[in-house]
Amino acid sequence: MSFNHTDKVAFITGSGAGIGRSTAQRLAAEGASIVVADLDVDGAAETVRLIEADGGTAMAVACNVCDRATIAAARDAALERFGRIDYLVNNAGIVTMHSLDELSEEDWDRVVDVNLKGPFLVTQELNEAIAAGGGGAIVNLSTVEASVVVSSQGFCQVHYNASKGGIPNLTKALAVELGRKKIRVNCVAPGPIATDFVSIDEITSDEAMDFMSQRLVIPRVGQPADIAAAISFLLSDEASWITGVQLPVDGGWLTR
């Protein structure tokens, strides 16, 4: 199934790799012009190259989601190039692998800043531009770990759970506040996805699959394209009466 994003402009954070890149490629293939926003400018440039090689339109902008000035500069560059912004995908995210006793205050702050404060800052800086074009849609990236704790090694990442646990309620609050501007806000909660966010070899190993099979109803690791499809739907007019929800795309992880 394909959705129509012709003449739309999508600003996607963290789109230099992984889910963000897959989302950028999918939306471009469906007619949108893409603003590839990433701290990794080389990764962003590669995403643009891939999109253009397939006949799409994209631009790369340097963007640190923790730095309001770089967000504003990226927004202004997008408006100068395309004249509008219709969609925002708050995809940028990080994790560090530390138990509670090993977790430093610096790592706590860094993960919470990127994963929770980042979507707030980017939305605050871009929502007026989206409204100016008549409204649009925002999709935030959550995770199944916003709802349940995953502890395959006897410890979890409390800073990651805390940061992502805030996304569903941030999404609801933004949906209420931005509804008057004709902006819908939803979030997607991925299950285990084969990206470099966590080592692909690790997540697809026999040991990992044995652990995940206790939760997965669909017995495979997810792919970035699975998440991109859900994001494309929530951005599209096919979802025009959906706002404030979290959509799990998790192979059934949250059903058990």
CA–CA separation, 15 and 21 (whole Å): 4
Tokens matching residue 48: 């643009």
C-alpha distances in angstroms, 48 versus 8, 28, 85, 86? 16, 10, 17, 19
C-alpha distances in angstroms, 118 versus 10, 64, 225, 254? 17, 8, 23, 26
C-alpha distances in angstroms, 19 versus 206, 210, 230? 23, 24, 11
Catalytic residue status for 160: yes
Catalytic residue among 3, 11, 160, 253: 160
End-to-end CA distance of the chain: 28
Active site residues: 160
